[in-house]
Protein backbone atom coordinates (compact mmCIF):
# COMPACT_ATOMS: atom_id res chain seq x y z
CA UNK A 1 0.00 0.00 0.00
CA UNK A 2 1.60 3.22 -1.20
CA UNK A 3 1.74 6.53 0.59
CA UNK A 4 -1.27 7.82 -1.32
CA UNK A 5 -3.45 4.81 -0.59
CA UNK A 6 -2.47 5.01 3.02
CA UNK A 7 -3.49 8.64 3.11
CA UNK A 8 -6.80 7.83 1.44
CA UNK A 9 -7.58 5.15 3.98
CA UNK A 10 -6.89 7.64 6.75
CA UNK A 11 -9.26 10.18 5.23
CA UNK A 12 -12.01 7.62 4.83
CA UNK A 13 -11.53 6.40 8.38
CA UNK A 14 -11.59 9.92 9.73
CA UNK A 15 -14.89 10.49 7.96
CA UNK A 16 -16.37 7.20 9.16
CA UNK A 17 -15.30 7.77 12.75
CA UNK A 18 -16.52 11.34 12.81
CA UNK A 19 -19.82 10.41 11.23
CA UNK A 20 -20.36 7.65 13.79
CA UNK A 21 -19.60 10.03 16.60
CA UNK A 22 -22.03 12.64 15.31
CA UNK A 23 -24.74 10.17 14.29
CA UNK A 24 -24.76 8.67 17.77
CA UNK A 25 -24.50 11.96 19.61
CA UNK A 26 -27.06 13.96 17.72
CA UNK A 27 -28.83 11.61 15.35
CA UNK A 28 -28.47 11.04 11.64
CA UNK A 29 -31.12 13.55 10.72
CA UNK A 30 -29.58 16.38 12.66
CA UNK A 31 -26.10 15.64 11.37
CA UNK A 32 -25.21 17.48 8.20
CA UNK A 33 -22.38 16.70 5.87
CA UNK A 34 -20.95 20.06 6.82
CA UNK A 35 -20.83 18.90 10.43
CA UNK A 36 -19.00 15.73 9.48
CA UNK A 37 -16.34 17.29 7.30
CA UNK A 38 -15.63 20.18 9.59
CA UNK A 39 -15.14 17.87 12.57
CA UNK A 40 -13.16 15.40 10.49
CA UNK A 41 -10.92 18.21 9.32
CA UNK A 42 -11.36 17.68 5.59
CA UNK A 43 -12.94 19.80 2.88
CA UNK A 44 -16.55 19.38 1.91
CA UNK A 45 -15.78 18.11 -1.54
CA UNK A 46 -13.59 15.39 -0.07
CA UNK A 47 -16.64 13.75 1.47
CA UNK A 48 -18.02 13.11 -1.99
CA UNK A 49 -14.83 11.40 -3.08
CA UNK A 50 -15.55 8.64 -0.60
CA UNK A 51 -19.31 8.51 -0.15
CA UNK A 52 -22.29 9.17 -2.34
CA UNK A 53 -24.30 10.90 0.36
CA UNK A 54 -25.19 10.73 4.03
CA UNK A 55 -27.06 7.46 3.66
CA UNK A 56 -24.15 5.81 1.94
CA UNK A 57 -21.86 6.51 4.87
CA UNK A 58 -24.60 5.36 7.24
CA UNK A 59 -24.92 1.99 5.52
CA UNK A 60 -21.20 1.43 5.49
CA UNK A 61 -21.09 2.30 9.18
CA UNK A 62 -23.84 -0.13 10.07
CA UNK A 63 -22.11 -2.98 8.28
CA UNK A 64 -18.83 -2.11 9.95
CA UNK A 65 -20.15 -1.66 13.47
CA UNK A 66 -22.61 -4.53 13.47
CA UNK A 67 -20.08 -6.99 12.11
CA UNK A 68 -17.61 -5.93 14.79
CA UNK A 69 -20.16 -6.75 17.47
CA UNK A 70 -20.96 -10.12 15.93
CA UNK A 71 -17.30 -10.97 15.50
CA UNK A 72 -16.54 -10.27 19.15
CA UNK A 73 -19.48 -12.41 20.22
CA UNK A 74 -18.41 -15.22 17.94
CA UNK A 75 -14.81 -15.03 19.13
CA UNK A 76 -16.01 -15.37 22.69
CA UNK A 77 -18.20 -18.30 21.70
CA UNK A 78 -15.18 -20.14 20.30
CA UNK A 79 -13.46 -19.90 23.70
CA UNK A 80 -16.28 -21.89 25.32
CA UNK A 81 -17.01 -25.57 24.87
CA UNK A 82 -20.74 -25.04 24.37
CA UNK A 83 -22.18 -27.79 22.29
CA UNK A 84 -25.91 -27.43 21.77
CA UNK A 85 -27.28 -24.97 19.26
CA UNK A 86 -29.75 -23.47 21.73
CA UNK A 87 -27.06 -22.59 24.14
CA UNK A 88 -24.75 -21.28 21.43
CA UNK A 89 -27.43 -18.85 20.35
CA UNK A 90 -28.27 -17.88 23.91
CA UNK A 91 -24.58 -17.27 24.49
CA UNK A 92 -24.31 -15.05 21.41
CA UNK A 93 -27.39 -13.07 22.41
CA UNK A 94 -26.13 -12.70 25.97
CA UNK A 95 -22.76 -11.53 24.80
CA UNK A 96 -24.21 -9.08 22.32
CA UNK A 97 -26.63 -7.69 24.91
CA UNK A 98 -23.69 -7.13 27.26
CA UNK A 99 -21.67 -5.40 24.57
CA UNK A 100 -24.54 -3.13 23.69
CA UNK A 101 -25.35 -2.41 27.33
CA UNK A 102 -21.81 -1.13 27.68
CA UNK A 103 -22.14 1.05 24.62
CA UNK A 104 -25.56 2.58 24.47
CA UNK A 105 -24.83 4.93 21.60
CA UNK A 106 -23.77 1.94 19.54
CA UNK A 107 -26.97 0.14 20.53
CA UNK A 108 -29.03 3.13 19.55
CA UNK A 109 -27.30 3.41 16.20
CA UNK A 110 -27.51 -0.26 15.32
CA UNK A 111 -31.04 -0.81 16.59
CA UNK A 112 -32.52 2.07 14.70
CA UNK A 113 -30.84 1.12 11.45
CA UNK A 114 -30.43 -2.64 11.41
CA UNK A 115 -33.50 -4.03 9.70
CA UNK A 116 -33.73 -7.58 8.43
CA UNK A 117 -33.14 -6.31 4.92
CA UNK A 118 -29.93 -4.56 5.90
CA UNK A 119 -28.86 -7.55 7.97
CA UNK A 120 -29.28 -9.87 5.05
CA UNK A 121 -27.72 -7.72 2.38
CA UNK A 122 -25.00 -5.89 4.24
CA UNK A 123 -23.95 -8.58 6.69
CA UNK A 124 -25.03 -12.00 5.56
CA UNK A 125 -24.34 -11.88 1.84
CA UNK A 126 -22.04 -8.92 1.44
CA UNK A 127 -18.30 -8.85 1.55
CA UNK A 128 -18.35 -5.34 3.00
CA UNK A 129 -18.57 -6.67 6.54
CA UNK A 130 -15.20 -7.69 7.90
CA UNK A 131 -16.46 -11.11 8.95
CA UNK A 132 -17.68 -14.08 6.97
CA UNK A 133 -21.01 -14.05 8.69
CA UNK A 134 -22.69 -16.42 6.32
CA UNK A 135 -20.27 -19.24 7.08
CA UNK A 136 -20.72 -18.85 10.82
CA UNK A 137 -24.45 -18.83 10.39
CA UNK A 138 -24.66 -21.91 8.18
CA UNK A 139 -22.07 -24.03 9.92
CA UNK A 140 -23.74 -23.42 13.26
CA UNK A 141 -26.95 -24.91 11.93
CA UNK A 142 -25.36 -27.68 9.91
CA UNK A 143 -23.31 -29.04 12.79
CA UNK A 144 -26.33 -29.07 15.06
CA UNK A 145 -27.92 -32.41 15.91
CA UNK A 146 -31.39 -30.96 15.99
CA UNK A 147 -32.86 -29.78 12.70
CA UNK A 148 -35.32 -26.95 12.20
CA UNK A 149 -38.32 -26.47 9.96
CA UNK A 150 -37.27 -23.13 8.62
CA UNK A 151 -33.94 -21.89 9.96
CA UNK A 152 -34.18 -18.56 8.20
CA UNK A 153 -37.52 -17.70 9.73
CA UNK A 154 -36.22 -18.86 13.08
CA UNK A 155 -33.19 -16.58 12.90
CA UNK A 156 -35.40 -13.78 11.63
CA UNK A 157 -37.79 -14.05 14.58
CA UNK A 158 -34.98 -14.31 17.10
CA UNK A 159 -33.18 -11.29 15.73
CA UNK A 160 -36.32 -9.18 15.59
CA UNK A 161 -37.42 -10.20 19.09
CA UNK A 162 -34.03 -9.58 20.65
CA UNK A 163 -33.38 -6.38 18.78
CA UNK A 164 -36.68 -4.73 19.56
CA UNK A 165 -37.00 -5.78 23.19
CA UNK A 166 -33.43 -4.96 24.14
CA UNK A 167 -33.63 -1.53 22.64
CA UNK A 168 -36.26 -0.40 25.11
CA UNK A 169 -34.93 -2.32 28.12
CA UNK A 170 -31.31 -1.29 27.79
CA UNK A 171 -31.91 2.32 26.96
CA UNK A 172 -34.95 3.10 29.08
CA UNK A 173 -35.28 0.11 31.48
CA UNK A 174 -38.82 0.03 30.19
CA UNK A 175 -40.85 -2.07 30.92
CA UNK A 176 -38.00 -3.67 32.92
CA UNK A 177 -34.21 -3.34 33.07
CA UNK A 178 -32.40 -5.59 30.64
CA UNK A 179 -31.16 -7.87 33.41
CA UNK A 180 -34.72 -8.62 34.43
CA UNK A 181 -35.63 -9.16 30.80
CA UNK A 182 -32.84 -11.64 30.14
CA UNK A 183 -34.31 -14.76 31.82
CA UNK A 184 -37.68 -14.20 30.17
CA UNK A 185 -36.04 -13.51 26.84
CA UNK A 186 -33.78 -16.56 26.97
CA UNK A 187 -36.74 -18.74 27.90
CA UNK A 188 -38.70 -17.22 25.05
CA UNK A 189 -35.90 -17.95 22.60
CA UNK A 190 -35.62 -21.55 23.80
CA UNK A 191 -39.35 -22.07 23.42
CA UNK A 192 -39.27 -20.41 20.06
CA UNK A 193 -36.57 -22.76 18.85
CA UNK A 194 -38.35 -25.75 20.31
CA UNK A 195 -41.52 -24.80 18.48
CA UNK A 196 -39.64 -24.90 15.20
CA UNK A 197 -37.81 -28.18 15.59
CA UNK A 198 -38.56 -30.52 12.75
CA UNK A 199 -40.09 -33.64 14.16
Partner DNA sequence: AATGAATGAGGGTTCATTCAT
Partner DNA sequence: GATGAATGAACCCTCATTCAT
| Contacting residues toward DNA, per CB under 7 A | 3-4, 7-8, 11, 30, 32-35, 42-49, 53-54
Scanning residues 22 to 61, which ones bind a second copy (CB under 8 A)?
A: 29
C-alpha–C-alpha distance, residues 64 and 58, integer Å:
10
C-alpha–C-alpha distance, residues 138 and 97, integer Å:
22
The dihedral of CA 105, 111, 117, 123: what is its sign?
A: positive
174 binds, among a second copy, DNA, none (CB under 5 to 8 A by kind): a second copy
Nearer to DNA, 6 or 135 (CB): 6
Q: What one-character-per-residue DSSP string does 121-182 give?
A: IIIIS-SSSSS-HHHHHHHHHHS-SS-BS-HHHHHHHHHHHHHHHHHHHHHH--SS-HHHHH
Q: What's the min distance (Å) between Cβ of 16 and DNA? A: 13
Per CB under 8 A, the segment of 49-57, 87-95, 97-105, 177-185 that binds a second copy is 177-185
Class of residue 55 by CB neighbours under 10 A (exposed 0-12, middle 13-18, buried 19+) = exposed
Scanning residues 140 to 169, which ones bind a second copy (CB under 8 A)?
A: 149-150, 152-154, 156-157, 160-161, 163-165, 168
**Chain residues in the site for a second copy (CB under 8 A):** 29, 115-117, 120, 149-150, 152-154, 156-157, 160-161, 163-165, 168, 172, 174-176, 180-181, 184-185, 187-188, 190-192, 194-196
Amino acid sequence: MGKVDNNKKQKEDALLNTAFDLFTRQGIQKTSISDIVSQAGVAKGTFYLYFKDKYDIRNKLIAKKASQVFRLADDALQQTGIDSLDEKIIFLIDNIIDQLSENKSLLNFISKNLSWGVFKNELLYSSAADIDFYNIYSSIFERSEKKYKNPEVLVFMIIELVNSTCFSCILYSDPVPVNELKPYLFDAVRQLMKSMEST
